[in-house]
Amino acid sequence: MKKRQIIAVILVLAILLLGLTAFLLGGFIPQTQPAPTPSPKPTIKPTLTPLPSDNPSTTITPSPIPTNPASNAPTYTYQIINTYPHDTNAFTEGLIFHDGALFESTGGYGNSYLRRVDLASGSVLQEYALSSEFFGEGLTLVNGSLIQLTWLEHVGFVYDKETFSLLGNFSYATQGWGLTYDGAKLIMSDGSSTLYFIDPNSYTVTGQISVKDGDKAIHYLNELEYVNGDIYANIFMEQKIAVINPQTGLVKGWIDLTGIYQSSDSNAVLNGIAYDAQNDRLFVTGKNWPNLYQIKINPPQ
């Protein structure tokens, strides 16, 4: 074979060898991967402020009522006259006194009752259990009927005072918190600064007032009692009672009950006002409190 032919064969073999090598190495050469498409950020829903609640599963701590320069409402103190036992399982939502006995509405799903309670011993004399779908709330007496609200269910119940037999029910649009009776109209709170006047026969709203201390709206109005022409109102999470003019909604005074009972349970708040008109006695208690107190209101110093 001529020298020139030998060189040509060598060149062809070299080219073939290089091609084979490139082919074999191609499977091992790292391939450039396309950049991954970033996942979209999850949508964060805004936190909604819930309605006020005195359900024990939801603790709400409103700011203390500040001193309002526009207010001339005096602050009254108290004196304990008598201390009576109170059922610590009673999550008190409504309280009245009539014919020598207390009538109490307790709250909690599966733990809501209408009760007749012996004042001296705190013993339950009579009881009606609400269905577990209802959360018992405010309570009042109209003639021979006990009227009890529920919290979120928009249903009120009417019972015979003596037998606790259910006579009927009615509905309302708001939450149900406190209830009292002024001799002509039902007065209801819904946890806001508004009190509603309701016809006790048709259960329709006939009027309403906004409760203010000077020019400041007072929210979290809770359990109510009608006392000598005024509305007494617990303020949820506060150890004070507002004395309210039912015509204007203005706070006439504050009853400061600071220190009457202390508990580490944040749900064991002051709630429950009952007035014995015949003997001019005022009673207060709270949710799951061990005591019910008869108090005397002292004038401002």
pLDDT tens string 175-214 = 999 999 999 999 999 999 999 999 999 999 999 999 999 9
Element (H, E) at 105: strand 101-106
Q: What is the pLDDT of residue 19?
A: 53
Percent residues over pLDDT 70 in the chain: 76
Query: How far out from the chain centre does Cα 172 lie?
Result: 17
Average confidence score pLDDT of the chain: 85
Gap between the Cα atoms of 54 and 62, Å rounded: 12
Residue 235 included in any domain: yes
- Sequence length of the chain is 301
Residue 139 lies in a domain: yes
Q: Which of 17-21, 199-203, 229-233, 267-271 has the lowest mean pLDDT?
A: 17-21
pLDDT in the model for residue 29: 37
Residue 50, domain member (yes or no): no
Q: What is the pLDDT of residue 33?
A: 40
Give the C-alpha distances (Å, rounded to integers) separating 1 from 5, 12, 13, 16. 7, 16, 16, 21
Closest by CA to 233, choosing from 289, 177, 279, 185, is 177
Closest CA to 285 of 223, 229, 227: 223
Residue 283 has pLDDT above 50, yes or no: yes
User: Within a domain: residue 189?
Assistant: yes
Output the domain CATH number for residue 173: 2.130.10.10
Residue 76 makes CB contacts below 8 A (sequence gap 6+) with: 253, 254, 255, 256, 297, 298, 299, 300
User: Can you tell me the distance from the alpha carbon of 193 to that of 218, in angstroms, rounded to the nearest whole number?
Assistant: 5
Interior/surface letters 259-271, b for 16+ CB within 10 angstroms, e for the rest: ebbeeeeebbbbb
**The pLDDT of residue 143 is above 80:** yes
* pLDDT score for 35: 38
The pLDDT assigned to 37 comes to 39
Tokens linked to 269: 């708040």
Q: What CA–CA distance (Å, rounded) separates 24 from 71?
A: 93
Are 254 and 240 a contacting pair, CB within 8 Å? yes
Q: Which residue has the tokens 């918190």?
A: 177
Confidence band, pLDDT 50/70/90 cuts, at residue 301:
confident
Domain enclosing residue 259, as ranges: 82-298
Euclidean distance between CA atoms 60 and 172, whole angstroms: 24
Considering the domain boundaries, does residue 239 fall inside one? yes
Instruction: Reply yes or no on whether the pLDDT at 16 is more than 60.
Output: no
Of residues 33 and 11, more confidence is placed in 11
| Position 46 pLDDT exceeds 70 | no
Q: Cα(119)–Cα(83) distance, rounded to whole angstroms?
A: 10
Number of domains in the chain: 1
219 inside domain: yes
Q: Which residue has the higher pLDDT, 11 or 262?
A: 262
The DSSP code sequence of 233-260 is: EEETT-SEEEEE-TTT-BEEEEEE-TTS
> In the prediction, which pLDDT does 72 show?
80
Query: Cα–Cα distance between 119 and 137 in angstroms, integer?
Result: 20
d(CA 49, CA 52): 9
- Any domain includes 36: no
Query: 18: pLDDT confidence band, cut at 50, 70 and 90?
Result: low
Per-residue pLDDT, 50: 38
Whether the pLDDT of residue 10 is over 80: the answer is: no
In a domain, 212, yes or no: yes
Mean pLDDT along residues 214-221: 96
- The string of pLDDT tens digits covering residues 51-109 is 445 554 444 333 344 444 467 899 999 999 999 999 999 999 999 999 999 999 999 99
Spatial contact of 136 and 115, defined as CB atoms under 8 Å apart: no
